[in-house]
Structure 1
Amino acid sequence: MRCEIRHTTEYRYKEPAWDSFNEVRLHPSNEARQTVRSFHLHVEPEAEITSHKDYFGALVHHVHVHEAHTFLKITAEAIVDTHPVPDPVPVPFSELRGVRGRYTEFLVPSPRVPAGEWPETFGVRRPLPHEDLPGYLMELTSHLHRRFTYAAGATSVSTPLAEFARHGRGVCQDFTHAMLAVARGLGVPARYVSGYLYSSGGMLGAEATHAWVECFLPGTGWLGYDPTNNCLARERHVKIGHGREYSDVSPVRGTYYGGGRGELDVDVRVYAEQ
């Protein structure tokens, strides 16, 4: 599937701002499941743009606007070909014992995915050692999809996982953090993925950047599970990057002097040819 993506982030300030410095993680990743054909980053007003690859391999652009300005518009345009994802190889849960040492960073707690009895909190049954790992993770995906309600605006990027567990309403990042907490609590290496979703009206979370989980499966590798939409991450999912949690892959974040309290508008459009 060929996906054309246009992501616009616009800040407006009541007073002039200056020395605005932003980290931008919007460049889709090149990997087996997708190929980036083109990427362009446009910034208004004129800005100094540099880039580097972060610890997890994502391409990060640094946008620095020196002069005074009352608005900042960052537009990322990409064309990405996504490729079919094969079904996972059946493997018993016990096979994870031999691989956990290689993926410790995706097993330990992090600020947004703290330690806790998350399987019990979310009403998840614990697997048996001989149980099929890919099948269990799909069951977990379905369970979280049924347990929680997708509600735009119900949470913010700073909402604690425990609060989401109590109220049961949130967005894709909340569903993703919940699945990370359960998977890691059960000893499954799991990482947070930021990206885009081609919806065509039938899937949730396509109005902005989307989030899902990648779990490591012996014999298969990293495989994406989307609890917001109760599915595997296949050709409709375009990956930007991964990390331990949202903070590692937030799309745009930055600082500036002056400006007062800014207003933010984000617009994401994904078009696809199958």
Structure 2
Amino acid sequence: MIDELPFLQRIRLRHLTEYRYNQPVEFGPHRVMMRPREGHDIRIVGGRIEIEPEPTIRFLRDVYGNSIAILTFDKPADRLRLNIEAELVYIRDSPTEALIDPAARFFPFQYPPQEQIELVPYRLPSYPYDSATLIDWLQALYRPGQQVETAALLQALNHHIFKSFAYARREEMGVQLPSETIRKGSGSCRDFAVLMMEAARHWGFGARFVSGYIQMGEGQHGATHAWTEIYVPGAGWQGYDPTNDKPVGREHIAVAVAREQEKASPISGSWFGPSGAFAGMDVVVEVAPA
């Protein structure tokens, strides 16, 4: 049945993360989000999980519907290694711009009453003290009183971030404030995703942060990635990738969605030992046609 579906693509995914220590340390509970989100457009048809040292694993779904593995460890070790592999089939729908509800085809618009309550958390800013900076920065795209096509406005915002900022790979945890990204003129994919999310919320859109993977060009391995989804009546949650100036497509694999970035982190947890025990980490991500 799967082989008969349109726009079919098979993808092989591998995500290896290894933390190294110069002596055995104890591990607190770890929260792992690496399982791709399944739906009408993507399905998992195979895979495996390898974790050293061996933990007790408990699975749950959070308030956003993300699949989370809670790992608990009962003995010290000098490394923590997580290797997750999956084979996916990706069925992409036709472009959805034409499916936007007529009442929302032009901005500004009002969300239908039945959707407004559910969208409240996604319309509230995560960084309210950055509002003044965002207002100034968004003047180039939209001014109150204008009427513009909704799809064109969101595409313009996506492009504006891409052309205005330089990509900078950052190893530090967390994200920059939107005002910091604007001031620095650079950021990582997660910084750009947060900036677009907050900008869309400033206009009144429901927006959320997405973490996952992206398939790169031929000969490249792929990478972890972050982008933004914005809710448009009739079309639903629409993905925008400001790092690459494109709508989300078959090369994107979503793992987690959340109102804020820290709730969509792939791995979070703690360890206990001497402050100098941490020796480094390695991450390998492979996303390629199966």
Q: Same fold (TM over 0.5)?
A: yes
Residue 257 of structure 1 is matched in structure 2 by: 272
In structure 1, how many angstroms separate the alpha carbons of the residues matched to 2:272 and 2:94? 49
Asked if 1:103 is matched to 2:103, the reply is no
Question: Residue by residue, what CA displacement relative to the aligned partner does 1:149-170 show, whole Å, maximum 9, x if unpaired?
Answer: 1121386524333222111112
Alpha-carbon distance, 1:264 to partner: 2.1
Alpha-carbon distance, 1:258 to partner: 1.2
* Aligned residues of 1:85 and 1:235 also touching (Cα < 8 A): no
Asked if 1:271 is matched to 2:271, the reply is no
Letter in 1 for 2:184: H
Asked if 1:32 is matched to 2:47, the reply is no
Asked if 1:120 is matched to 2:136, the reply is yes
Residue 107 of structure 2 is matched in structure 1 by: 93
Residue 48 of structure 1 is matched in structure 2 by: 56
Residue 11 of structure 1 is matched in structure 2 by: 19
* Aligned residues of 1:95 and 1:218 also touching (Cα < 8 A): no
Letter in 2 for 1:41: I
Q: 1:191 aligns with which of 181, 190, 208?
A: 208
* Aligned residues of 2:222 and 2:287 also touching (Cα < 8 A): no
Q: 2:192 aligns with which of 168, 175, 182?
A: 175
In structure 1, how many angstroms separate the alpha carbons of the residues matched to 2:121 and 2:136? 23
Asked if 1:143 is matched to 2:157, the reply is no
* Distance verdict in 2 for CA 1:213–1:238, change over 3 Å: same
Asked if 1:225 is matched to 2:276, the reply is no
* Distance verdict in 2 for CA 1:6–1:217, change over 3 Å: same
* Distance verdict in 2 for CA 1:21–1:156, change over 3 Å: closer
TM-score, length of structure 2 as denominator length: 0.85
Question: Residue by residue, what CA displacement relative to the aligned partner does 1:34-75 show, whole Å, maximum 9, x if unpaired?
Answer: 112123221012211111111100110012221110000011
- Of stretches 29-38 and 142-151 in structure 1, the one that deviates more from structure 2 is 29-38
Question: Residue by residue, what CA displacement relative to the aligned partner does 1:202-240 show, whole Å, maximum 9, x if unpaired?
Answer: 99xx75320111111111111101000011101111111
Runs of 5+ unmatched residues, structure 2? 1-8
Asked if 1:2 is matched to 2:3, the reply is no
- Of stretches 59-68 and 183-192 in structure 1, the one that deviates more from structure 2 is 59-68
* Distance verdict in 2 for CA 1:80–1:123, change over 3 Å: farther
Runs of 5+ unmatched residues, structure 1? none
Give the helix-richer structure, 1 or 2.
Answer: 2
In structure 1, how many angstroms separate the alpha carbons of the residues matched to 2:149 and 2:39? 26
Superposition RMSD on alpha carbons, in Å? 2.2
Runs (4 or more) in structure 1 with deviation over 4 Å come to none
* Aligned residues of 2:126 and 2:198 also touching (Cα < 8 A): no
TM-score, length of structure 1 as denominator length: 0.90
Residue 4 of structure 2 is matched in structure 1 by: none
SS of corresponding position for 2:283: strand
* Aligned residues of 1:13 and 1:259 also touching (Cα < 8 A): no
Letter in 2 for 1:21: P
